A and B are shown apart, each in its own frame.
Chain A
Amino acid sequence: MTELLQIKAVTKRFGGLVAVNNVSFAVREREILSVIGPNGAGKSTLFKLISSFLSPTSGEVLFRGQRISGLAPHIVARKGVVRTFQETTIFKSMTVRDNVIIAHHLRSNATLAGFYLGTNTARRDEAEFGRSADEIIDFLDLGAQRHEIASTLPHGHLRALGIAIGLATNPTVLLLDEPFAGMNHDETVRAVEMVRGVRKRGVTVLLVEHDMPAVMNISDRIVVLNFGVKIAEGTPKEIQENEKVIEAYLGAEDETIGF
């Protein structure tokens, strides 16, 4: 399997604080890789570094061998590395369908002027976006909410909408920011299926997550961070048996680890 994303010796300092310290690992094509770690381990920072919402202090992130760190987020998205946000980050006053349609921006063939004048290319784009949006909405089981205003959706549907927005960009790698946070057991089971479905579409998934049972269940491989340092990397089984990981989690929250 080829390595799609390479995180090479990435370090991020905020003043005196080293949030991410010399972290390296690779994401292989079509795998589900999770980054876990106790609170404050630097997961979110690492996530922003990969999606280029932050630039590393040193080190670099490569996508298909090309450096993407330091580029503007929209350019990284254009290359195929797209992040989702936690649930509240949607286009609140648009309908579900409009949210997904607008997220097709990267697939447009027409220029802005073309859209203004309503050229044939623009009209073909619009029709295609509508069709594709409906397909994604059905795929993520949002059909009944299609014409609802996004801000009125319940929790689980918001999460699905976030993923729908991500999928609409036709990503190669989708970065999911805590897709199972705050969900009850049933919702988590459904969300895990959703993420598996995303992978089945040929998308590589990298997720940052707290929910241990879900992570163990879904991941092909896991990277564990603690205090900004990578302390382990391996299959769920290897991680569960890793001394350092158990040490990092023990004492503080051995219940939540779910081993």
Chain B
Amino acid sequence: MKRTRNILAVAVFLLVVLIGVPWLIEATGRLDLYYTLTSVALLSIASAGVWVTFYIGRINIGQGAFALMGGYVSAILVVQYGVSFWLTLPLAGLFCAAASVLIGLPILRLRGVYFAMVTLVLTEVARLLALALPITNGAKGMVSIPLPGGISIFGLTILPDFATLANPRPAFYLVSVVLMVLCFAGLYRLVHSRIGKLCQSLQQNEELASSIGVNIAYLRVIAYAISSFLGGLGGAMFVAISQSIYPSSFTVTDSVNFMLNCFLGGLSYVFGPMIGTFVLYFGWDFLFETGEFQLLIFSSVLIALMLFLPNGLLSLRLFGKKQG
């Protein structure tokens, strides 16, 4: 029963985002929504990474660093080495994962606010590195990055060359949504396998976990690497769309937002970061009309949400189900 319902829910979601939304956008002529929704999809991938670190009991305010790193890795590979963008996408993720292993080994021993503070600094370190390193072209950043080329296997075109498209936005939208769906499917499986339970055991009591033989240091690093992989992936895709990257492309504010997305959606739900990103992004845009009061209203609503819905927006759904 539950299985059928889940499959049905996924099918409906896919139909809506892959066919329904593009159809609505074309019908209403709001083409700008493509870019907005693409951003939501990519930001939610990076937020999903942050969610993984929450899942092992660490507050991560450093995802911006890995999004920036992933973006630069992809940009440098495409521009300087002529590598196909589609190949740089996983490479950027893997590069970030490898870097996060080196960074994580020492800092993952820290807990609570101490870990959070170090990760907060990471974002700033990444920005300063991007400013200082010769390969990143400093404050001028990297611009006019070519659009992704096509992919074809045995002469069969899977993805067209984006440069030949009259409007690459719908294509970017579809690719980003597919990427998001894949990432969340992978995460869903992770959480519902024994690894998810092991992560929960870390979150709830590291000492007890190690007393039952769990290699907590190893598991923490794995989780952090997955987190950073997702950050790098999101960052790299973003750069392909904006065709440029600067040291300020991802800042501390973005890192904080990635974390807020998780909080808002709900830390105990895999799809929390997706909902959180969507609501936060559109909530912010929606309040644009209020002008100078935008930030004031936005922050007040956030505070209220956290007070009254400490388990995130998705806890609403469960509450409703219990009553019905």
Q: Which residues of A contact B (CB under 8 A)?
A: 51, 53, 72-74, 77-78, 82-85, 89-94, 98, 101-103, 105-106, 108, 112, 115-116, 118, 122, 125-126, 165, 168-169
In the complex, the chain B residue whose C-beta lies closest to that of A162 is B208
Complexed CA–CA distance, A73 and B217 (Å): 11
Complexed CA–CA distance, A234 and B214 (Å): 36
Q: Which of B79-87, B91-99, B193-201, B248-256 lines the interface with chain A?
A: B193-201
B285 close to A (CB within 8 Å): no
**A116-B193, A126-B194 known; A91+B200 contact, CB < 8 A:** yes
Inside 8 A of B211's CB, which chain A residues have their CB?
51, 53, 73-74, 77, 82-85
**A91-B201, A116-B193, A116-B195 known; A106+B208 contact, CB < 8 A:** no
B207 near A77 with CB under 8 A, answer no
B222 close to A (CB within 8 Å): yes
B210 near A77 with CB under 8 A, answer yes
Expressed in whole angstroms, the minimum distance between the Cβ of B171 and any Cβ of chain A is 31
Inside 8 A of A98's CB, which chain B residues have their CB?
197
1/0 per residue, CB under 8 A from A, across B185-218: the answer is 0000110011101101100110110111111110
Q: Which of B189, B211, B214 has the most CB of A within 10 A?
A: B211
**A74-B214, A102-B198, A105-B214 known; A89+B193 contact, CB < 8 A:** no
Inside 8 A of B215's CB, which chain A residues have their CB?
72, 74
Name 12 A/B residue pairs within 8 A (Cβ), A-sorted: A51-B211, A73-B207, A73-B211, A74-B210, A74-B215, A77-B211, A82-B213, A85-B207, A94-B200, A101-B197, A103-B212, A165-B212
Complexed CA–CA distance, A89 and B201 (Å): 11
Inside 8 A of B222's CB, which chain A residues have their CB?
112
Complexed CA–CA distance, A169 and B189 (Å): 25
In the complex, the chain B residue whose C-beta lies closest to that of A118 is B193
Complexed CA–CA distance, A126 and B196 (Å): 14
B210 near A112 with CB under 8 A, answer no
Complexed CA–CA distance, A257 and B201 (Å): 38
A74 near B213 with CB under 8 A, answer yes
Add 16 more A-B contacts to A82-B211, A85-B208, A90-B205 (CB < 8 A): A53-B207, A53-B211, A72-B215, A72-B217, A74-B215, A74-B216, A77-B212, A89-B205, A91-B201, A92-B204, A93-B200, A93-B204, A98-B197, A102-B198, A122-B194, A169-B213
The count of residues in chain B whose C-beta lies closer than 8 Å to any C-beta of chain A is 22
In the complex, the chain B residue whose C-beta lies closest to that of A170 is B213
1/0 per residue, CB under 8 A from A, across B37-66: the answer is 000000000000000000000000000000
Expressed in whole angstroms, the minimum distance between the Cβ of A56 and any Cβ of chain B is 18
Expressed in whole angstroms, the minimum distance between the Cβ of B112 and any Cβ of chain A is 17
Interface residues of B in 135-166 (CB under 8 A from A): none
A102 near B197 with CB under 8 A, answer yes
Closest 6 A-B residue pairs measured CB to CB? Answer: A106-B213, A77-B213, A115-B194, A103-B212, A73-B210, A91-B204
Inside 8 A of A82's CB, which chain B residues have their CB?
211-213
Inside 8 A of B195's CB, which chain A residues have their CB?
112, 115-116
Inside 8 A of B198's CB, which chain A residues have their CB?
102, 105
Complexed CA–CA distance, A119 and B197 (Å): 17
Q: Which of B193, B198, B222 has the most CB of A within 10 A?
A: B193
Complexed CA–CA distance, A46 and B280 (Å): 52
Inside 8 A of B197's CB, which chain A residues have their CB?
94, 98, 101-102
Contact among A72, A90, A116, A125 with B189 in the assembled complex (CB-CB below 8 Å): A116
Expressed in whole angstroms, the minimum distance between the Cβ of B209 and any Cβ of chain A is 8
Complexed CA–CA distance, A92 and B203 (Å): 10
Inside 8 A of A126's CB, which chain B residues have their CB?
194
**A105-B198, A112-B195, A115-B195 known; A89+B212 contact, CB < 8 A:** no
1/0 per residue, CB under 8 A from A, across B210-253: the answer is 11111111000010000000000000000000000000000000
**A112-B195, A116-B189, A126-B194 known; A94+B212 contact, CB < 8 A:** no
B208 near A91 with CB under 8 A, answer yes
Expressed in whole angstroms, the minimum distance between the Cβ of B52 and any Cβ of chain A is 13
Expressed in whole angstroms, the minimum distance between the Cβ of A128 and any Cβ of chain B is 12
In the complex, the chain A residue whose C-beta lies closest to that of B214 is A105
Expressed in whole angstroms, the minimum distance between the Cβ of B182 and any Cβ of chain A is 15
Inside 8 A of A89's CB, which chain B residues have their CB?
205, 207-208
Contact among A115, A118, A125, A169 with B212 in the assembled complex (CB-CB below 8 Å): A169
Complexed CA–CA distance, A227 and B115 (Å): 37
Expressed in whole angstroms, the minimum distance between the Cβ of B289 and any Cβ of chain A is 41
**A90-B205, A91-B205, A122-B194 known; A168+B212 contact, CB < 8 A:** yes
Expressed in whole angstroms, the minimum distance between the Cβ of A200 and any Cβ of chain B is 22
A106 near B212 with CB under 8 A, answer yes
Expressed in whole angstroms, the minimum distance between the Cβ of A151 and any Cβ of chain B is 10
Complexed CA–CA distance, A82 and B201 (Å): 17
A78 near B212 with CB under 8 A, answer no
